[in-house]
């Protein structure tokens, strides 16, 4: 059982986390949800299309203009409070590596802290414990926030992913984060080249085998683009293919831009796996 905010999800229930970037320079939508009203409209659409979690980010992952903790909080805290007011049952996640921002958004109503940079600020897990919210424990290969990998190497990339993410998850629980609210994430592209991310996907079952719920953030990432030699706006098909493989291997939570398309992929895989009945089953019965 995965428990986040007011919601509980069964082990075989796939969960969609919709991305809402409160940044003017996001790599995929170039700031389309930087302003409040477009961002709130995006939340409404994502919920209608089947997202259970809204992931709010105030700093783009890649290099760019420096964003202070105060500015990150300015972009996210008030928005979290408004989403909480308008959508009381949705799970609100905030993508941040800073403990100070984590504390501010938890006070505003966040249910989950998405630590995409692998515990670079140890205080973030302490904040999650203090507020009793969930935590995503990610493998970033020891990279500093907002840096790109350069000739990174692993003897065994999945062994390193397991060592780091399980270690972070166990530390979080020891600090007091509810065990049923902790997830692990292989961190596609973060501290990895394309071959590393492909291997992490291929061996995702090893993460699932740890017993921790697995979150994957695949949406339109560079490893998809390089694998297919496609620019950012032409990576949806590759993303959905990777989503299907990840679902078959047992990942549970999917951080995405395209909610409706992802919902169909996850429902189809769940039905093939026998975890979900067909929505309609008339063929051959008339």
Catalytic residues: 221, 255
Long-range contact list for 39-47, CB < 8 A, 24+ apart? 39/79, 40/82, 40/83, 40/86, 42/18, 43/18, 43/83, 43/86, 43/87, 43/90, 44/86, 44/87, 45/259, 46/16, 46/18, 46/20, 46/259, 47/18, 47/87, 47/90
Neighbour-count burial of 25, counting CB atoms closer than 10 A to its CB (0-12 exposed, 13-18 middle, 19+ buried): middle
Q: How far apart are CA 123 and CA 50, in angstroms?
A: 32
Q: Which residues pair with 9 in a beta bridge?
A: 2
């Amino acid at each position: 059982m995965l428990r986040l905010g007011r919601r509980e999800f069964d082990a075989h229930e796939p969960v969609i986390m919709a991305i809402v970037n409160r940044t003017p320079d996001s790599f995929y939508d170039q700031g389309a949800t930087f302003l409040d009203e477009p961002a709130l409209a995006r939340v409404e659409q994502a919920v209608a299309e089947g997202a259970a979690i809204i992931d709010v980010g105030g700093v783009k992952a890649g290099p760019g203009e420096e964003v202070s903790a105060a500015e990150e909080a300015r972009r996210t805290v008030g928005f979290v409070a408004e989403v909480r007011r308008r959508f009381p049952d949705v799970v609100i996640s905030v993508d941040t590596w800073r403990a100070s921002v984590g504390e501010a958004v938890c006070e505003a109503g966040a249910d989950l802290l998405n630590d995409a940079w692998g515990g670079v600020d140890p205080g973030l897990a302490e904040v999650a414990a203090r507020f009793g919210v969930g935590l995503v424990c990610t493998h970033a290969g020891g990279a500093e926030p907002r840096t790109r990998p350069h000739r990174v190497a692993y003897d065994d990339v999945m062994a390193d992913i397991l060592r780091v993410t399980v270690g972070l998850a166990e530390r979080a629980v020891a600090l007091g984060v509810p065990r049923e609210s902790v997830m692990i994430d292989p961190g596609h592209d973060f501290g990895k080249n394309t071959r590393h991310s492909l291997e992490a996907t291929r061996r995702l079952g090893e993460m699932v085998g740890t017993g921790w719920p697995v979150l994957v953030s695949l949406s339109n990432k560079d490893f998809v683009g390089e694998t297919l030699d496609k620019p950012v706006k032409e990576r949806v098909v590759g993303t959905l293919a990777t989503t299907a493989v990840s679902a078959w291997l047992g990942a549970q939570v999917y951080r995405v831009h395209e909610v409706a398309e992802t919902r169909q992929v996850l429902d189809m895989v769940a039905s093939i796996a026998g975890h979900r009945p067909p929505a309609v089953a008339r063929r051959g019965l008339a």
